[in-house]
Amino acid sequence: DNALLARLGYKSEFKWAFSPIHTIRFAVSIMGIFSSVSAVFFFPLMAAGHLGMTFGWIIPSLFTTCAVFFDWPSTICEAHNESRTSTGLYYFSAKLAPPEYAPLLSWITGWANVTGQISLMCSLEFVNMEMIAIAISVGTDSRINLGPGPT
């Protein structure tokens, strides 16, 4: 495959060396972490106070760290890089499924991805507008209140 691709003029240009700051910037940009964290502070603070909020942050962080150390995402990335296809989600859902269910599962995977992306954008926009409304309320000493009632 590599010899055929070389004869066709294909040159692999994937950049393998990402610095830690590039990786962090990419992760933060796709997760919407700042707006997500600020939007959910209210719930643990009201339910369990500062102690509950602290342990509610530490314990899930430990589980997330353990999941990262299992290294399954890089395994999928390596397999996807070797396959020379740009449709990784659909390709791998078809290859990992039984042959009779491959088209259906690829279709479900594609639409689940689209639905997830749309939901992500809607929730991030809602949280961002909520933060803007709170900033307006704080900046005007609550003379302007853009809560659920007025809007």
Higher pLDDT, 28 or 74: 28
Of 38, 70, 102, which marks where a domain is finished?
Answer: 70
Q: Is residue 30 part of a domain?
A: yes
Convert the pLDDT of each residue in 101-119 to its tens digit: 999 988 998 899 889 888 8
What is the model's pLDDT at position 101?
A: 92
Q: Do 61 and 98 share a domain, yes or no? A: no
127 and 40 in contact (C-beta within 8 Å)? no
Q: Is residue 77 part of a domain?
A: no
Higher pLDDT, 76 or 30: 30
Q: Do 54 and 93 share a domain, yes or no? A: no
Q: Which residues contact 127 (CB under 8 A, 6 or more apart)?
A: 32, 35, 36, 38, 39
Containing domain of residue 105, as a range?
89-151
Q: Whole-model pTM? A: 0.50
Q: Is residue 8 part of a domain?
A: no
Q: Do 95 and 58 share a domain, yes or no? A: no
Convert the pLDDT of each residue in 46-92 to its tens digit: 788 888 888 887 888 788 777 666 655 555 565 555 555 566 777 88
- 129 pLDDT exceeds 70? yes
Q: Do 100 and 142 share a domain, yes or no? A: yes
Of 91, 83, 88, 86, which is closest to residue 2 (Cα–Cα)?
83
Q: Do 107 and 139 share a domain, yes or no? A: yes
Of 39, 70, 101, which marks where a domain is finished?
Answer: 70
94 and 106 in contact (C-beta within 8 Å)? yes
Of 11, 38, 70, which marks where a domain is finished?
Answer: 70
Burial of 139 (0-12, 13-18, 19+ CB in 10 A): exposed
Q: Is residue 56 part of a domain?
A: yes
Q: Do 145 and 100 share a domain, yes or no? A: yes
Q: What tokens appear for 31 in the block?
A: 């997760």
Q: Do 93 and 65 share a domain, yes or no? A: no
Q: What is the mean pLDDT of the chain?
A: 76
Q: Is residue 64 part of a domain?
A: yes
- 100 pLDDT exceeds 90? yes
Q: Is residue 17 part of a domain?
A: no
- 151 pLDDT exceeds 60? no
Q: Is residue 118 part of a domain?
A: yes
> Where do we find the tokens 């009201």?
46
Residue 40, classed as helix, strand or coil, is helix
For 48, list phi and psi in degrees, rounded to 5: -135, -5
Q: Is residue 15 part of a domain?
A: no
